[in-house]
Amino acid sequence: MSIPKICCLALVLAVLPFAPASAGRTLDEGKLDTSWYGDDREFRKADEIDYLWVKPGFSLSGKKVYFAAWMEPQLLGEKAGERDAKDKRLAGNLTSNMPEIFAEAFRNGLAGTVTVVKSGGDVKVVGRIVDCTEGSAAAKFWVGMGAGSGNTTFDMKFIDVKSGDLVAAIHHRVVSGSNLSTTDSKFVKWVDEFAERLSKKGLEALYNSGKKAKD
């Protein structure tokens, strides 16, 4: 190989590590990695959902839905390094309970519209927690006004079982704002309300009525 060709090859190899591996972006202060969902999507801010994407024409109506075990928590974002052992333990506990929390909410809120199954089905739902903090009960009680609030941020995707295609994606943060609420209890409340919104509007209508999410 000639010296010019060697120099060109070395230049290419030197540049490659700095080129992006995919078209994925990071949103929500680094907590939303769009590459986790595959191709880049146009997320919208919908009714009580921070980031939502739905494939045109997709509907959960009449579908059998399987809530699979969630992935291990992967803390992301600018404050990931600040999360302590209590925060990580809470993230782990929530992760193990997520499938049943959503399944129960869908069984109650979408009865007659969606059938929740224990395997297979038409749509598989998987998720992961990307940020979690227990917050401070003392700060909530003595300071108030949002001080000491805990929060849980999660990714969730709905996958067509037959094709393997992504049909819906959610990224959302649930905040426990008052001294009477905890991160986990607030999350359960949000999931119940989410199921109720789906029963009234449906995923696609929620997405279409939303506005383009800010970076």
Q: What is the pLDDT of residues 150-170, one digit of tens each?
A: 789 999 999 999 999 999 999
| CB count in 10 Å sphere of residue 124 | 19
Share of residues in the chain with pLDDT > 90 (%):
57
We report the CATH number of the domain holding residue 195 as 3.40.50
Residue 1 lies in a domain: no
Q: Considering the domain boundaries, does residue 29 fall inside one?
A: yes
pLDDT beyond 60 at 110: yes
Q: What value does the mean pLDDT take over residues 200-206? A: 93
**Can you give the pLDDT at residue 101?**
94
Asked if residues 154 and 175 have their Cβ atoms less than 8 Å apart, the reply is no
Give domain status of residue 84, yes or no: yes
What whole-number distance in Å separates Cα of residue 25 and Cα of residue 214? 12
How confident is the prediction for the chain on average, in pLDDT? Answer: 82
Range of the domain at 96: 23-212
Please tell me which residue, 92 or 179, carries the higher pLDDT value: 92
Residue 8 lies in a domain: no
Residue bearing the bigger pLDDT, 24 or 32: 32
pLDDT tens for each residue of 31-69? 999 999 987 789 999 988 999 999 999 999 999 999 999
Asked if residue 11 belongs to a domain, the reply is no
Residue-wise pLDDT for 123-151, tens only, equals 999 999 999 887 654 333 333 444 446 78
pLDDT at 183: 67
Of the chain, the percentage scoring pLDDT greater than 70 comes to 78
Please state whether 30 falls in left (phi above 0), alpha (psi between -120 and 50) or beta: left
Q: What is the 3-state secondary structure (H, E, C) of the chain?
A: CCHHHHHHHHHHHHHHHHCCCCCCCEECCCCEEHHHHCCCCCCEEECCEEEEEECCCCCCCCCEEEECCCCCCCCCCCCHHHCCHHHHHHHHHHHHHHHHHHHHHHHHHCCCCCEEECCCCCEEEEEEEEEEECCCHHHHHHCCCCCCCEEEEEEEEEEECCCCCEEEEEEEEEEECCCCCCHHHHHHHHHHHHHHHHHHCCHHHHHHCCEECCC
8 Å CB contact between 164 and 199: no
The residue that leads in pLDDT, 179 or 188, is: 188
Q: Are 65 and 123 in contact (CB under 8 A)?
A: yes
- Split into its structural domains, the chain has a count of 1
Contacts of 45 (CB under 8 A, 6+ apart): 51, 52, 210, 211, 212, 213, 214
Determine the straight-line distance between the first and last CA of the chain, rounded to whole angstroms: 47
Would residue 146 count as lying in a domain? yes
Give the pLDDT of residue 145. 40
**For strand 64-67 and strand 123-133, is the pairing parallel, antiparallel, or unpaired?**
parallel
